[in-house]
Homo-oligomer: A and B are copies of this chain.
């Protein structure tokens, strides 16, 4: 286990207390000054911890009045807590404990098609891995993924990795860090191929997620288009208003 930063430890502790019902919906949290004393932390550090929970959608802060647990129903609370733990993880980590299988339909090296080259910032015709997989959860096909990865940035990738976790190869073997993912969600009808692979009825709707993955040096290394069957697809986000200064 990796040691937590102080503000993360404070946030984690408070999150646990919210999860355990020590602090309930609408409760006021201890004052900042009390939390500072309690955790032996400075004002900035406590603030940072609380900001983290605001970002995750669990609490609300109001200048002049206090910090409160959001009025959430049990199911939303559960989902938020789950969600905050699985933000940037691949499917393999997010669904730990389930039986995840990846069937590899294609694993080849090809010149990048133009739109792919643009997104991966490659010279037209640069070589990329082209990987097509069907991913199943507990035996049921859930998503159809077509992904393009820059050959140069991810050397030595094998079909073997595609069958398990490409991300663990990148992280554990290549020692590279994924910094961020840019995601675009759209909707359309399944193609005949998708209907076949995902065992969908004719004309079924699907969610199409376009993702570009970036390393911590700012380079995109993976562009993928993933089609999700509609019954289990659900994407959650929390949008929080920022500070707005001097009205």
Chain A positions near chain B (C-beta within 8 angstroms): 2-5, 8, 25-26, 44, 57, 59-60, 62, 65, 68-73, 75-76, 80, 87-88, 118-119, 121, 177-189, 203-207, 212, 214, 216-220, 228, 230, 233-241, 243-247
Contacts and interface: CB of A to CB of B under 8 A. Distances in A.
A57 B180 contact: yes
Contacts of A183: 236-239
Contact of A185 (B87, B178, B235): B235
Contact of A246 (B2, B80, B204, B206): B2
Given A182-B57, A182-B236, A5 B243 contact: yes
A2 to B, nearest CB: 6
Nearest to A203: B203
B68 A217 contact: yes
A4 B245 CA distance: 6
Number of copies: 2
A204 B204 CA distance: 9
Describe A's contact surface by its main secondary structure. mixed
A96 to B, nearest CB: 18
Contact of A239 (B62, B181, B220): B181
A202 B228 CA distance: 21
28 contacts: A2-B245, A2-B246, A5-B243, A5-B245, A57-B182, A60-B214, A60-B217, A68-B218, A69-B218, A71-B121, A73-B121, A76-B119, A88-B241, A180-B238, A180-B239, A180-B240, A181-B238, A181-B239, A184-B234, A185-B234, A186-B207, A186-B233, A186-B234, A186-B235, A189-B203, A189-B204, A205-B206, A235-B235
Task: List 4 A-B pairs, minimum CB-CB distance, nearest first.
Answer: A205-B205, A60-B218, A187-B230, A3-B246
A233 B241 CA distance: 23
A238 B75 CA distance: 25
Nearest to A186: B234
Contact of A182 (B65, B119, B203, B238): B238
Contact of A178 (B72, B241, B246): B241
Contacts of A181: 238-239
A218 B61 CA distance: 8
A102 B109 CA distance: 50
